[in-house]
Amino acid sequence: MRVCIIGASGKLGQYMIEHCLERGYEVVGVCRPKSVGKLDRFRGRITVVPGPTNDPRVIRQAVAGADGVLTVLVPWGVNDYSSGTAQAVLDHAAPNARLVFSCGWHISRDGQDVYSKTFTRGLAIVGWLARTLRLVDIDDQVEACRRIFASEARWTVVRGSDLEEGESQGLPVWSRHVGDPILESNLTRRVDFALFMVEALTDPDLIHEAPAIVGCRSPSALAHQGEQSA
Ligand SMILES: NC(=O)c1ccc[n+]([C@@H]2O[C@H](COP(=O)([O-])OP(=O)(O)OC[C@H]3O[C@@H](n4cnc5c(N)ncnc54)[C@H](OP(=O)(O)O)[C@@H]3O)[C@@H](O)[C@H]2O)c1
């Protein structure tokens, strides 16, 4: 299996590299030229393609021959970085490749997600502030996902809860809608978010799904497992 990781030098990207190498996958990573050094510990074990992830030429080169593409979608700046990245992957990955994208719970595929007032207010404030400072444009991540959802490619959009560092606890559990009780704890280890992304490559049940994930050892996940086995 040849896997291309777009946004490989970030925290999520590096965990995904580790999971892929553990599985014996061949890895090609794309990251900004200034971040190539962050991947030094993988030297000789992965191929690095330096460049902006929204550059179609960079992405075309990186995804050539890839069976799977793992894309970290982050809406940096106010120049459509996220939607440009998603579009480049959709345009240049092989039609039968498995495409797995990361984002947060705030993305809704069908409008059926139920958010707490705290979550909605926090998102509105952070979104406004980040856009005003021209740091991040959350609406562009929404646009990126709209294009992915409309695509006929074999995609999965993994929606992460709040994240924390720490040892792996195992594969996160998921639900189709934020607001479902199993997700209430709203916390996942970043290493396990990466695990879910990599496992999604080989899980046909996740094609055309937008799973919202939560740690499998989180209280809400454990409570759900308890109900299932009762
Ligand atoms: N953080 C959270 O609490 C949280 C919660 C839910 C979901 N998520 C999702 O998880 C994924 C990873 O998020 P993360 O917070 O853990 O970040 P991360 O893995 O550290 O990744 C950040 C990525 O953005 C790149 N980046 C940073 N600054 C940039 C800039 N100015 N221009 C272009 N690229 C830039 C980084 O590349 P360099 O290495 O080149 O800097 C890296 O590839 C995202 O899809 C996010 O939506 C995050």
**pLDDT tens sequence across 99-153:** 999 999 999 999 999 999 999 999 999 999 988 999 989 999 999 999 999 999 9
What CATH number is associated with residue 17?
3.40.50.720
- Give yes or no for residue 32 CB within 6 A of ligand 1: yes
Q: How far is CA 60 from the centre of its chain?
A: 20
What pLDDT, on a 0 to 100 scale, did the predictor assign at position 152? 97
- Give yes or no for residue 31 CB within 6 A of ligand 1: yes
- Give yes or no for residue 76 CB within 6 A of ligand 1: yes
The predicted model gives 168-190 an average pLDDT of 98
Looking at the CA of residue 163, tell me the nearest atom of ligand 1: 3
Structural domain span for residue 88: 2-229
Number of domains present in the structure of the chain: 1
Looking at the CA of residue 72, tell me the nearest atom of ligand 1: 45
- Give the distance (Å) from ligand 1 centre to CA of residue 74: 5
- Give the distance (Å) from ligand 1 centre to CA of residue 195: 16
Each residue's pLDDT tens digit, 34-63: 999 999 999 999 999 999 999 999 999 999
- Residue 30 near residue 8 (C-beta atoms within 8 A): yes
How many whole angstroms separate alpha carbon 84 and alpha carbon 38? Answer: 24
Task: pLDDT band for 227, please (50, 70, 90 cuts).
Answer: confident
What pLDDT, on a 0 to 100 scale, did the predictor assign at position 136? 87
Q: According to DSSP H, which parts of 81-132 are helical?
A: 81-92, 117-132
What pLDDT, on a 0 to 100 scale, did the predictor assign at position 153? 98
- Give the distance (Å) from ligand 1 centre to CA of residue 13: 9
- Give yes or no for residue 74 CB within 6 A of ligand 1: yes
- Give yes or no for residue 10 CB within 6 A of ligand 1: yes
Q: Whose CA is nearest to atom 8 of ligand 1?
A: 104
- Give yes or no for residue 168 CB within 6 A of ligand 1: no
Each residue's pLDDT tens digit, 187-226: 999 999 999 999 999 999 999 999 999 999 999 999 998 8
Listing from the earlier edge strand, what are the strands of the sheet with 154-160?
47-50, 26-31, 2-6, 68-72, 98-104, 154-160, 212-214, 173-175
